[in-house]
Copies of this chain bind each other. A is one copy, B any other.
Amino acid sequence: MGSLTYKLIKKDGKARRGEITTKHGTIQTPVFMPVGTAATVKAVKPETLKENGAEIILGNTYHLFLRPGADIVREAGGLHKFMNWDRPILTDSGGFQVFSLGDLRKITEEGVEFASFIDGSRHMLGPESSIEVQQALGSDIMMAFDECAPYPADREYVLPSMERTTRWLARCKDAWTNRENQALFGIMQGGMYLDLREKSARDIVDMDLPGYSIGGLSVGEPKELMCEVLDECVDFLPEEKPRYLMGVGTPDYLFEGVARGVDMFDCVLPTRLARHGAAFTHSGQINIKNAKFKRDFTPLDPECDCYVCRNYSRAYLNHLFRSGEILSHMLLSEHNIHFLIKTMEKIRKSIEEDRFEEYKEKFYRSYGYM
């Protein structure tokens, strides 16, 4: 595996402290990855991401495939150069997006035909073309083309879908030629059915890939159910490879994932919440547009040491948001990303010091989860 190595440094219960090394640098795990859908983490400069400790970001194949197109990114010298980000990038496969377009798409064994969200034009993505696009983008970690089954879904739906995802993974592996520079992760599916999860895991682990991802969770099921499934299915994955729980980003889900041995997380939540005026704080989520903040001259989160909390008041952020100022999105996005990245940093430290559960409880109490 020339493209990626994983080193397990320390365990505290099931929680893992590790390190992933790629051609663009090393990532401390567990890690939260900000999402840069269209070759930008919305409203945040790459330098600002670095200042806030981001070690890896995510790009969306579906969006980049449609705009600007893989050929333009390739001509630009790859996604890193195109968007001015020299640290690792993970790209998803586009599978999640083409499937979630519902009745606008047509699924065959070959792949998925779908309508562009930009102009309705018809396109096709499948295992080979997804890998081709991701190789043009030049991401450090590529995801296999899969179907993420919805919740709820009958066993009769989930089983053939999961088996097709596995067949598609074999084709992704065949299409994966740039093995020295780019890693390929397989994705476990199987819905909420543990025996299907086990079957999926066994089949994808057999393909001996650089890492594995847990797909099809956090798709609308109750938190307890997600935790139950996670309890079992992380154990189906090999200890010596990184494990990525896709699309998970609320603070409690990060803790629950880490507690069960997950190493990587991504979510659009910090930037999406920001654009709606919402911010993570150590005492829970707040919305800055609330009138009570008009004359509140304290920082967004008094326990936070980010650029935003060091330099601006809630009153100012309230004013910016109510005035429709872009700076509001910029500052809230930066704070929210900082919050998740720093929380993950503290999680890593707590694992190193064998007090992960203690830190989790402290965080939950302060945040208002318990």
A-to-B contact residues, CB < 8 Å: 38-40, 42-45, 63, 67-68, 72, 75-77, 82-84, 294-295, 297, 311-313, 315-316, 318-320, 322-323, 325-327, 329-330
* Measured CA separation A182–B75 after assembly (Å): 54
Q: Contact at A75–B297, with CB atoms within 8 Å? A: yes
Q: Contact at A82–B325, with CB atoms within 8 Å? A: no
Copies in the complex: 2
Q: Contact at A72–B311, with CB atoms within 8 Å? A: no
4 more CB-based (< 8 A) A-B contacts, given A42-B327, A75-B295: A38-B319, A39-B319, A83-B316, A326-B330
Residue of B nearest to A48 (CB): B45
For the residues of A in contact with B, the DSSP-based class is: loop
* Measured CA separation A40–B330 after assembly (Å): 12
Q: Contact at B329–A326, with CB atoms within 8 Å? A: yes
Q: A84-B312, A316-B39, A330-B330 are in contact. Are A323 and B76 (CB under 8 A)?
A: no
* Measured CA separation A316–B323 after assembly (Å): 29
B residues near A75, Cβ cutoff 8 Å = 295, 297, 315
B residues near A322, Cβ cutoff 8 Å = 67-68
**Contact partner of A325 among B40, B72, B320, CB < 8 A?**
B40
Q: Contact at A43–B327, with CB atoms within 8 Å? A: yes
Residue of B nearest to A83 (CB): B316
Q: Contact at A294–B72, with CB atoms within 8 Å? A: yes
* Measured CA separation A93–B225 after assembly (Å): 61
B residues near A40, Cβ cutoff 8 Å = 320, 325, 327
B residues near A327, Cβ cutoff 8 Å = 40, 42-45
* Measured CA separation A329–B322 after assembly (Å): 19
User: Could you list some 20 contacts between A and B, CB below 8 A?
Assistant: A38-B319, A38-B320, A39-B320, A40-B327, A42-B325, A42-B326, A43-B326, A45-B330, A68-B294, A68-B315, A68-B322, A72-B294, A72-B315, A75-B297, A76-B297, A82-B316, A83-B316, A84-B316, A326-B329, A330-B330
* Measured CA separation A327–B295 after assembly (Å): 30
Q: Contact at A38–B313, with CB atoms within 8 Å? A: no
